[in-house]
Structure 1
Amino acid sequence: MSEPVNRVRRALNEAPADLLLDRVADTLAGAYGITRVQLLQVDYRLSALLPLGDGETVTSPGHPAWRCFDHQTPIVADDTAYLPVSMRGERRGVLRVAPAPGDPGTLHELAEAATALAHEIAAVSAGTDVYRAARRSRRLTLAAEMQWEMLPGRSRIRPSFSLAGQLEPAYAVRGDSFDWSDDGERVWLSTINGTGEGVAAAMLTSLATYALRNARRAGLGLADQAALADQAIYDLHRGGQHLAALLMDLDLRSGVLTVVDAGSPRLVLLRDGEVRQLPLEAQFPLGMFEATDYHEQRFELCRGDRLFVVSDGVIDATGQDVRYGETALDRFLRRTGPMEPLDAVRSLIGDLRAFVAGDLVDDAVVVCLDWTGPQD
């Protein structure tokens, strides 16, 4: 690692939480003669790159900033360099710097500085609202604020898997959500198709999410995780409220997928360009009855398999009195094969917005998980 990049890292480590970009700008000016630095963060809808501070919002898909975000590679245009601000697959935005360097080595060092900035933003965001507030083009509803704060992230990449998810309508989502965790050997993924309206729906989903996390962190298997969350919801609501969930546990070495379908969203497998729905055993939603006994199913994935989880808000989306439906969904999913999971999720959401001619009315969640095989 070069000395200028080390200086950027030291400056970030020592900077107050709200002055990360200022310290990066000062260090880049001294090391490379950079005179203009701007951070563009992707918004909650994945449809705009919003400046931190003054500046113009970037929405045009052909803009160099979007090309940098989409392809996750430095882009140079009109004496300006655009650098991915990403960490562990979580795409936070783009760093725009000028004048652009003339040699690839310096451009690579600037890209390393942008990655360091992404890590530091993640580290300080729990203690400041500066970066979260700048990521929204309009106010989040209270329910949406709760849902986004629960997420572990929107995307994740490791050598053996990659995943991404999105909540819609992004600024007003109520009960739909997802959660994930990995330890290098397994990845756990839960997707919730919430019920109810507003804050009440968000609170029900929060209870289920934290109950599932509590059971997972205690080392319980999927069936017991479902049972614990089921009991937590039933104890509070006595069957008056319940929600659908899909729990998955993927062994990253063997590709064995363990599933519990608790009245779940739809699980679709994309293999060799063909779409198929896995035959899940439908079981009761979480919280519907007291002491439900849940059962696990196992499937063997092939290297390169892609899984999509979609809630009924996707299939039931309506435009001009026409339902989006499973046929249109399957047709679109086939086209996502070459895309990275976040791009596939974003493309599907974009297709749904075009279909309904605006934001979705009902909650929808889309999650995409790729298994790339064991990595020795």
Structure 2
Amino acid sequence: MRFLPEEQQRRLLAACYARSHLTPEQLWMRYFALGGSQGLLELDAYLNGLTTLPRVDRDMLAHAVNERLDEVAGPARAPYSHSVRDGRPVRGPLKALVDLLEGAHRAPPERLPAVVAEAGRALDLRIGVYLADYDQRLLVPLRPGADEELAIDSSVAGDVFRSAGTTVSRDGTLWTVLLDGVERLGVLEVVPLDGADVDDPILREQCQWLATLLGHLVTVTTQYGDGLDVQRRRRHRGSPAELLWHSLPPLTGATERIVVGASVQPAYDLRGTVFDYALSERRAQLAMFNGDASSAVVNALSAHRAARRDGASLPDQYAAVGAELAGRHAVAGLVAELDLHTGVLQWLDAGHPAPVVVRGGSALPRVGPTPRQFAADARPRATEVRLEPGDVVAVYSPGLVETTDEGGEPFGHARVAEHLERGAEALPPEIARLVTRAVIGHSGGELRHDAGILVARWQPR
């Protein structure tokens, strides 16, 4: 609790007393009725700065003055010795956050843009919400009657999304990334209504508060309604893709020591590729599974998760996947574990491309895939490499490198390494997005194989 300096309280109290039009006797009577024990002369001496009073008497005197001011003058009040928390905020950033929280309580997802608009008005801002579509090509406006969709690769808003930052466009609009934790969901468009300076760091900070809270609300409301999900879809999603998408973790995850980002395409026709990760204080566990049957791939993913959450070692996780599949389906995959303190990366693969490590902008020599299948009785020895701070690790699906152009030339491992090297300084989710966009471009726009990639950057403290 913060206490007001005694002399500052006295000066402010004396100024308020002067506006109350009370005589010293009338003030003393009000103070005495509240339980005060000081005499009239002591009160008069205190108001004139000739003596001090105990804190409890100062506060009773302030309350007596405030009661009179409430009768004749309105809101200007004498201060108490300690800060008194107000009730519901009536203006400013706190009101905006309260409005956003209360407006979203039990609100269906499609009402969220209106709730955001109300929160913006508390800050004298017009706020527009744009969410990234599932192809991560467009930013889709949620505001009714809003402008057309914005291209992620060729707009100011798209640049903010790609860099997960904040910027001001030439027309004075402030754009800031919309995040749920560290996952990029879209951007906010912010236009001051009161002529405020968009370069004001305080305004930017307030907008980032709203963006962080709103990002969380977008994710939460999407879990119990389709209103926002429908906005992000550009076309029908097949049932295998629906099953696989709902089995995936967020496209981005991070701790102090690692950032992970992923991308899987085609977003609406995904057939048999999933990824997974689990981050903790000590380790990061990564996985990817690929197959022709979506149900078998989901079963492999579930078996891996169950074993991992039981605390199983990497070989035991591998064996658990084999036991689940039991030779019924051909599923390629990889399970890996990175020690976040030492940088030691270990993995076990089954017909799956080995991870690529990019160090200092150059890919290290690649290890070939192991020609084996998941098996319940298998306890193979893991391949191991020691990372250096800042290294980027990428795990990608076989279909990503097998995608061919019109002439039949596959995308290939060399192109994967080239794109990883070129974008190594970008955010891991942006690296992953750019690689899958390149694969789509190589195929002429239509993927015949799933293209999935999981990118991690180790950054020890």
Whether TM-score is above 0.5 comes out as yes
2:361 match = 273
Distance 1:319 1:346 in 2: 19
Distance 1:212 1:65 in 2: 38
Distance 2:328 2:154 in 1: 49
Q: Note if 1:195 corresponds to 2:291.
A: yes
Is contact 1:82-1:96 (8 Å) kept? yes
Judged with a 3 Å threshold, the aligned counterparts in structure 2 of structure 1 residues 45 and 76 are, in CA distance, closer, same or farther, namely: same
Residue identity matched to 1:195: G
2:452 match = 365
Distance 1:98 1:261 in 2: 51
Judged with a 3 Å threshold, the aligned counterparts in structure 2 of structure 1 residues 9 and 179 are, in CA distance, closer, same or farther, namely: same
Partner of 2:242: helix, strand, or coil?
helix
TM-score, structure 1 as length reference: 0.89
Distance 1:94 1:211 in 2: 36
Percent identity of paired positions between Structure 1 and Structure 2:
25
Question: Which of 255, 259, 266 does residue 347 from structure 2 map onto?
Answer: 259
| Greater Rg over alpha carbons, structure | 2
- How far is the alpha carbon of 1:124 from its aligned partner? 2.8
Is contact 2:262-2:432 (8 Å) kept? yes
C-alpha RMSD of the superposition = 2.1
Structure 2: where are the runs of 5+ without partners? 1-91
Q: Note if 1:175 corresponds to 2:272.
A: yes
Q: Note if 1:40 corresponds to 2:130.
A: yes
1:164 match = 261
Question: Which of 196, 199, 221 does residue 313 from structure 2 map onto?
Answer: 221
Deviates most, 292-301 or 340-349: 292-301
2:101 match = 10
Residue identity matched to 1:128: G
Q: Counterparts in 2 of 1:207-246, with a 5 A limit?
A: 207-234=299-326, 239-246=327-334
Higher RCO, 1 vs 2 (CA within 8 Å, ≥6 residues apart): 1
- How far is the alpha carbon of 1:280 from its aligned partner? 6.3
Judged with a 3 Å threshold, the aligned counterparts in structure 2 of structure 1 residues 371 and 60 are, in CA distance, closer, same or farther, namely: closer
1:249-296 CA deviation, whole Å, 9 max, x = no partner? 11111112121112223311111222124536726223xx55333333
Is contact 1:267-1:277 (8 Å) kept? no
1:62 match = 154
- How far is the alpha carbon of 1:47 from its aligned partner? 0.6
Question: Which of 300, 305, 310 does residue 396 from structure 2 map onto?
Answer: 310
Judged with a 3 Å threshold, the aligned counterparts in structure 2 of structure 1 residues 271 and 60 are, in CA distance, closer, same or farther, namely: closer
Distance 2:152 2:295 in 1: 36
Deviates most, 212-221 or 61-70: 61-70
Structure 1: where are the runs of 5+ without partners? none
Distance 1:73 1:41 in 2: 15
1:13-63 CA deviation, whole Å, 9 max, x = no partner? 63524233322211221x2222x4322111111111112253321126332
Distance 2:412 2:382 in 1: 28
- How far is the alpha carbon of 1:73 from its aligned partner? 1.9
1:322-359 CA deviation, whole Å, 9 max, x = no partner? 22222333222221222111121122122222222213
Judged with a 3 Å threshold, the aligned counterparts in structure 2 of structure 1 residues 355 and 292 are, in CA distance, closer, same or farther, namely: same
The structure with the greater share of residues assigned to strand is 1
Judged with a 3 Å threshold, the aligned counterparts in structure 2 of structure 1 residues 2 and 37 are, in CA distance, closer, same or farther, namely: closer
Q: Counterparts in 2 of 1:57-206, with a 5 A limit?
A: 57-59=149-151, 61-77=153-169, 78-99=171-192, 101-102=196-197, 103-192=200-289, 194-196=290-292, 201-206=293-298
Distance 1:14 1:22 in 2: 13
TM-score, structure 2 as length reference: 0.74
Residue identity matched to 1:350: R
After TM superposition, where is structure 1 displaced by more than 4 Å over at least 4 residues in a row? none
Deviates most, 212-221 or 329-338: 329-338
Is contact 2:352-2:398 (8 Å) kept? no
